[in-house]
């Protein structure tokens, strides 16, 4: 099992979520986050004054998938989150040792299906 954490632009959330669901990936956790990367932030103007916003709003989805489904999930996220501009985000893949479904106590791969 692997945990996929994808951080990307909020305006791409609906497309990513719908595509993942169509691909059979229905379980995920969503968090609204702020961050910055190489772009460092953006400069905005308000009433004639310039200011730098260095923590940009993003969304983070987290999902645990079977090893054989990782590449498929990543491809779906890439296809639907990418705009081709700086600030598109990152995907992290983290190994998971085990999972337990709280309601039933089922462990392992069955717990995430």
The domain segmentation of the chain, as residue ranges, is 2-112
pLDDT in tens, 10-69: 999 999 999 999 999 999 999 999 988 877 777 778 888 887 778 889 999 999 999 999
pLDDT in tens, 69-107: 999 999 999 999 999 998 899 999 999 999 999 999 999
pTM of the model: 0.87
What is the pLDDT at residue 52?
A: 76
Q: Hey, what long-range contacts does 17-22 have (CB within 8 A, 24 or more apart)?
A: 17/61, 19/76, 19/79, 19/80, 20/63, 20/73, 20/76, 20/77
CATH topology of domain 2-112: Alpha-Beta Plaits (3.30.70)
């Amino acid at each position: 099992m692997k945990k996929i954490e994808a951080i990307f632009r909020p305006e791409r959330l609906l497309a990513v979520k719908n595509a993942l669901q169509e691909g059979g990936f229905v379980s995920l956790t969503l968090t609204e986050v702020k961050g910055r990367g190489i772009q460092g932030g953006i400069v905005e103007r308000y009433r004639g004054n310039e200011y730098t916003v260095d923590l940009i709003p993003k969304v983070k989805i987290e999902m645990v998938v079977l090893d054989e489904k990782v590449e498929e999930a990543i491809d779906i996220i890439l296809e639907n989150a990418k705009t081709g501009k700086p600030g598109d985000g990152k995907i992290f893949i983290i190994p998971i040792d085990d999972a337990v479904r709280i309601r039933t106590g089922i462990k392992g791969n069955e717990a995430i299906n």
